[in-house]
Amino acid sequence: MGKHALLSASSSHRWLVCPPSAKLCAEVEDKGSEYAAEGSDAHALCEYKVLKYLGKDVKTPTAALSFYDEEMECCTDDYAAYISEIVEKVKDTCRDPVVLVEQRLDFSRYVPEGFGTGDCLIVADGTLYVIDFKYGRGVEVSALENPQMMCYALGALELFDGIYDITSVCMTIYQPRRENVSVSTMSKADLYQWAEETLAPIAKLAYDGKGDFKAGEHCRFCKVKATCRKRAEYNLELAKYDFEMPAELENAEIAAVLAKADELAAWAADVKEYALAQALAGVEYDGWKVVEGRSNRRYINETAVADAVKQEGFDPFEHKVLGITAMTKLLGKAKFDKLLGNLVEKPKGKPALVPASDRRPAMNNAANAADDFKEEN
């Protein structure tokens, strides 16, 4: 397993806000996950396809990929096509652009022992392109003021600045499963100013285990989120409202509760998950015990069940049309769209109350939207 940086670019959104969390997280074993393994497979396929486009002699990695499927094939095809579009576009003004794939980047000038891997770098006519592929579908990632991308850009400048006359950096997050292509451009001068005035001082604090703990949205992927005292204090502030009925609260107070409601629920779930794991390992919590959860009956041998039912003259199978995801996988996306595109609809979504920063447009008439939803259900 490769070495992991204490101050990784991917976790910079957290340690830049909560510097001492870096050393705490470093003490917790990285267990990995299926999501991470799936992402690694997708990155390997992306690397192969971009290198193939560049004319390199490479062998497809699909046989060695545990999570390879039709969706991954389509997403990585689209990514490679996106890279090729950028390269062909810059060739209009730059005869021989530099293109690097899965390039190790060193930004330790500003972050102690800081390094990472850039999925794709392109240098052409004064512009450095830094492109990051993200296969996750859970959280939509923006390139705007994204510290991971800015760290990668600094690492890329270490390679190219001085050799090429770079004046600006274009950073792109390519996230196909969220239909998200986020692009942000900043001048080289502004990036260096951020590195000197913000990144370097905070990185030193984080590396030394100093600074102040701070809770917020950045806690989501923190390894110590379940036991962090600062996060507990942050969420328990809601107790001052005594959880009265909303009608008894002022609008400003309701807004304050809404701002923390999701984080509060996530924190409570994290604490319960951690406590269960500890209890199963022998830790006792006063007033709590581990019991066997509810379960449902299930067949121990479905083939034997089917045979027994058929012998009695009954049909043991449920016949129904495959769901859209399963049908797309069966037919392939192109054939699915051709055969069934006019037979698929996307009904109105259930009204949801979200922060104003959400990129979806607001409903114009909340009362009518509520009535429409009631009629449909």
Could you tell me the mean pLDDT of each successive run of 10 residues in the chain, 377 residues long? 73 94 88 89 97 94 94 94 94 90 96 94 93 92 96 96 92 94 96 97 95 88 88 76 64 80 82 86 87 87 94 90 86 90 88 81 64 52
CB atoms within 10 A of CB 44: 18
Cα separation of 133 and 143, whole Å?
11
Instruction: Quote the pLDDT of residue 220.
Output: 84
Residue 101, classed as helix, strand or coil, is strand
Q: What is the DSSP letter of 140?
A: -
Q: How far is CA 260 from the centre of its chain?
A: 21
Q: What is the DSSP string of 31-44?
A: ---HHHHHHHHHHH
Instruction: Quote the pLDDT of residue 296.
Output: 86
Residue 187 β-bridge partners: 168
Cα separation of 21 and 39, whole Å?
25
Residue 128, classed as helix, strand or coil, is strand
Whether 122 and 156 have beta carbons less than 8 Å apart is answered as: no
Instruction: Quote the pLDDT of residue 247.
Output: 61
Distances in whole angstroms, Cα of residue 101 to Cα of each of 52, 73, 80, 93, 325: 11, 18, 11, 22, 31
First-to-last C-alpha distance (Å) of the chain: 51
Residue with tokens 């990514």: 79
Whether 61 and 48 have beta carbons less than 8 Å apart is answered as: yes
Residue 181 β-bridge partners: 174
**Angle subtended at Cα 11 by Cα 9 and Cα 17, rounded to the nearest 5 degrees:** 110
Give me 253's structure tokens: 């107070």
Cα separation of 152 and 116, whole Å?
7
**Angle subtended at Cα 73 by Cα 71 and Cα 155, rounded to the nearest 5 degrees:** 105
Residue 314, classed as helix, strand or coil, is coil
- What is the amino acid identity at position 80? A
Pick the closest to residue 215 from 224, 206, 205, 204 (CA basis).
224
Q: What is the DSSP letter of 196?
A: I
Residue 247, classed as helix, strand or coil, is helix
- What is the amino acid identity at position 376? E
Cα separation of 167 and 163, whole Å?
12
Pick the closest to residue 75 from 107, 45, 103, 34 (CA basis).
45
Pick the closest to residue 183 from 85, 95, 105 (CA basis).
85
Instruction: Quote the pLDDT of residue 245.
Output: 61
Instruction: Quote the pLDDT of residue 59.
Output: 95
Whether 72 and 176 have beta carbons less than 8 Å apart is answered as: no
Indicate yes or no: pTM above 0.75.
no
Q: How far is CA 189 from the centre of its chain?
A: 29
Distances in whole angstroms, Cα of residue 175 to Cα of each of 76, 140, 277: 10, 8, 33
Cα separation of 197 and 19, whole Å?
15
Residue with tokens 């083939």: 303
Instruction: Quote the pLDDT of residue 40.
Output: 95
Pick the closest to residue 203 from 215, 213, 195, 192 (CA basis).
195
